[in-house]
Amino acid sequence: AKAWTDRYQMTLNNDDLSQAWDIYYNVFNRIKKQMANLSTLELANVGPKLLSVSSLSLAVPGTYKAGVPNIRIQSFGPQLTVLTSKQRPRKVVMNGSNGNSYTFLLKGHEDLRQDERVMQLFGLINTLLANDSDTRKRNLAIERFSVLPLSHTSGLIGWVENTDTLHQLIKEYREGRKIPLNIEYRLMVQMAPDYEKLPIAHKIEAFESALSETTGQDVVIHPDKDTYISCRLVVCH
């Protein structure tokens, strides 16, 4: 391909450029298929500088507390686990100076600043719940996790153990009932075959139409909030 591009620079013949493009396109398709099947990434290949650092002065995200010695980042785990969701985020492990390991989700193509604000709001709600005698007796609080925006399009989210993703819950519900996992998308494409090319307003119209034809009961476990809280308290006690 490089030979064809070099030749194009001399001849300015578009046919030479097309030859190079065909080769690059074939290589891109092969790499794309391989990437879709990747479940782990070696940090030595994708982030060698991170793998080489040790004993950093930076605190492990989400562990900082005023007046308490910082838990610093000692090193990074040698492998990243690739999750199978749409954006294919990575599971990253940081080893702390206290000997414990801390797991985070590295997300790209998303602005996590809004998520960070939501966690701050949850912190305020927890403070209000703790200050009220009735809610304090009922052990009501929102489980929070650390959110650290790294840029406008990437960031780290603290990993919460022993939980299921919304995608996993919906997948299990639909597979058990023989419902296509992407039923909403199928209905949208059925209504508008060129859905991906539609303007936002028309996409919303197709989306709302798909919602009206589905039940939306995939993650409903309890009939109302009171039943949920009662079950939650039984499990907690």
Tokens for 199, please give them.
């303007």
Q: Within its chain, how far is the Cα of 196 from the centroid?
A: 22
95 confidence band (pLDDT: 50, 70, 90): very high
CA pair distance 193, 189, nearest whole angstrom: 5
Nearest 10 degrees: CA dihedral of 144, 149, 154, 156?
-40
pLDDT of amino acid 139: 85
Q: What is the mean predicted confidence (pLDDT) over 30-42?
A: 82
Tell me the domain boundaries of the chain.
1-37, 43-158
- For β-strands 79-82 and 154-158, DSSP reports them as unpaired
CA pair distance 174, 33, nearest whole angstrom: 27
Whether the predicted pLDDT of 154 surpasses 70: yes
Q: What is the mean predicted confidence (pLDDT) over 179-189?
A: 91
CA pair distance 159, 81, nearest whole angstrom: 13
CA pair distance 165, 177, nearest whole angstrom: 19
Q: Is 199 exposed, middle or buried (0-12, 13-18, 19+ CB in 10 A)?
A: exposed
Strand ranges in 49-122 using DSSP code E only, listed in sequence order: 73-76, 79-82, 90-96, 101-108
Global pTM reads 0.67
Average pLDDT for the chain: 88
Whether the predicted pLDDT of 175 surpasses 70: yes
Q: What angle do CA 236, 143, 136 make, to 5 degrees?
A: 60
Q: Within its chain, how far is the Cα of 90 from the centroid?
A: 8
Q: What is the mean predicted confidence (pLDDT) over 128-150?
A: 91
CATH top-level class of 43-158: alpha beta
pLDDT of amino acid 235: 67
Could you read off the pLDDT of 206-225 as tens digits, one per residue?
A: 999 999 998 888 777 777 77
Confirm if 207 and 188 have CB atoms less than 8 A apart. Answer: yes
Q: What is the mean predicted confidence (pLDDT) over 184-190?
A: 92
